[in-house]
Amino acid sequence: MTDDPAVNSRRHEPILDPVLLVVAIIWGGNFPVYKRLMEVIPPEGLLAVRFVSITLLLLVVLGVTGRLRNNPRGMWLPLFLAGALVMGTQQLTFVLGLNLTAAGEGSLLFSTAPVFVAIMVAVIGAEAISGANWLGVGAAFVGVGMVIMGGAGAAHLPETRITGDLLMLGSSVGYALFMVISKGLMEKYGSLKVVTFTYMFGALIVVPFGWHEMVAVDWAHLQPVSWFCLGWLVLLAGVFGFTAWYWRISRTSSARVAVYQYIVPVVAMVTAAVWLGERPSVMQIIGTVVVLAGLALARRRTVAACVD
């Protein structure tokens, strides 16, 4: 029995973390919620609204918790670059890609971010990548190919799905890049502060891009379901999701947190099937299993780069 209180507390953690489970389910629901909202709000305008709303609310959270003060000068330039050049661009490719493909398919392709993290940390020499990791990377790409090819001719998929799939993969690369470059920043300045200010700087790219679409929306006549979906993306998935996720990360191991990220594409595909009528083919289902298995192998020694 060790005297380290941190180790002892982890030994007594419950098998199931309800906070992480709830966040994973919420984030899985993001994909069909986005699809439903983009039927009435252009994707660029929707993203602009989300960025502005989440930034303002996260600034309030920082202020209430007393973390809005004591910001060293040296943090602003890297946070600006991470937010404006990486997060803003990544989020734009995300909504544009999701608008052009199916919710379930898009969620699975986006979930490949840990594979790209594994490749990036190997390239820069930040972590040693084992043979099992590389096997996982290869399996994930095979699964991605099965998902894309397996959707050919499906009635629920738009003709633009290939373009959308490629944009979702590009967004996944951007998210992986953000995770890699923000890891040190989060360790130095705190996760909540880094997420808040990178969102703020990302808005410098997103808001001008979607300003015309945002102000053109007839907000007064949106249906209740649209307001519910918007609240889901801003309050549940945004403010609550970020604060709860990173709060739990600071109090548990990276390996435990990573397990819940596998839930996101599964929830997305189920909710898309129920709410949007999406029906994946047998090949896509097999491809999904292959992707998730590949992710498990690829993340065995690179999980900290993904979620810390």
The answer as to whether 171 is a domain residue is: yes
The answer to whether residue 125 scores a pLDDT higher than 50 is yes
Which has more confidence, 304 or 114?
114
Looking up tokens 């979930």, which residue turns up?
111
Residue 273 pLDDT > 70, yes or no?
A: yes
Look at residue 254 and tell me whether its pLDDT is greater than 70. no
Mean pLDDT of the chain, nearest integer? 85
Residue 5 lies in a domain: no
Tell me, what's the pLDDT at 82? 93
Residue 2 domain flag: no
Phi (first) and psi of residue 42, to 5 degrees: -55, 145
Q: What percent of the chain has pLDDT over 70?
A: 86
Under a CB-based contact definition with an 8 Å cutoff, are residues 92 and 209 in contact?
Answer: yes
Which residue matches tokens 């999406």?
Answer: 278
Model pLDDT for residues 276-296, shown as the tens digit of each residue: 888 888 888 898 899 888 888
pLDDT at res. 43: 95
Read off the pLDDT of residues 258-272 as tens digits, 9 standing for 90 and up: 667 778 888 998 999
Q: Has residue 12 been placed in a domain?
A: no
What is the pLDDT, as a whole number, of residue 126? 72
Ramachandran assignment for 127, one of left (phi > 0), alpha (psi -120 to 50 degrees), beta (any other) = beta
Model confidence at 58, pLDDT cuts 50, 70, 90, reads: very high
Q: What is the pLDDT of residue 154?
A: 61
pLDDT at 13 over 60: no
**Which pLDDT score, from 0 to 100, does residue 228 have?**
96
Q: What pLDDT sits at residue 98?
A: 94
* Cα–Cα distances in angstroms (integers) from residue 229 to residues 25, 137, 223, 235, in the given order: 15, 34, 10, 10
User: What span, in angstroms and rounded, lies between the C-alpha atoms of 195 and 223?
Assistant: 31
Our CA dihedral for 114, 120, 121, 124, rounded to 10 degrees, sits at -170
Q: What is the pLDDT of residue 307?
A: 37
pLDDT at 243: 83
Question: Domain limits at 159?
Answer: 17-307
Residue 89 counted as domain residue: yes
pLDDT number for residue 253: 54
Does pLDDT of 298 surpass 60?
Answer: yes
Q: Which of 206-215, 248-257, 298-307 is predicted most confidently?
A: 206-215
In a domain, 117, yes or no: yes
Q: What is the pLDDT of residues 151-161, one digit of tens each?
A: 765 665 667 88
79-82 contacts, C-beta under 8 A, 24 or more apart? 79/185, 79/189, 79/194, 79/197, 79/198, 79/201, 80/201, 82/178, 82/181, 82/182, 82/185, 82/194, 82/198, 82/201
How many domains does one find in the chain?
1
Residue 253 lies in a domain: yes
Residue 302: the pLDDT is 47
Kindly state whether residue 8 falls inside one of the protein's structural domains: no
The predicted structure's pLDDT at residue 15: 60
For residue 218, the model assigns a pLDDT of 93
* Residue 2 pLDDT: 43
Residue 249: per-residue pLDDT:
65
Q: How confident is the model at residue 255 (pLDDT cuts 50, 70, 90)?
A: low
Distance (Å, whole) CA 274 – CA 153: 20
Instruction: Note the pLDDT tens digit of each residue in 192-217.
Output: 899 999 999 999 999 999 999 999 99
Interhelix angle 161-189/191-216, rounded to 10 degrees, is 140
Q: State the pLDDT at residue 5.
A: 42
Q: pLDDT band for position 112 (50/70/90)?
A: confident
Q: What does the pLDDT average to over 186-190?
A: 86
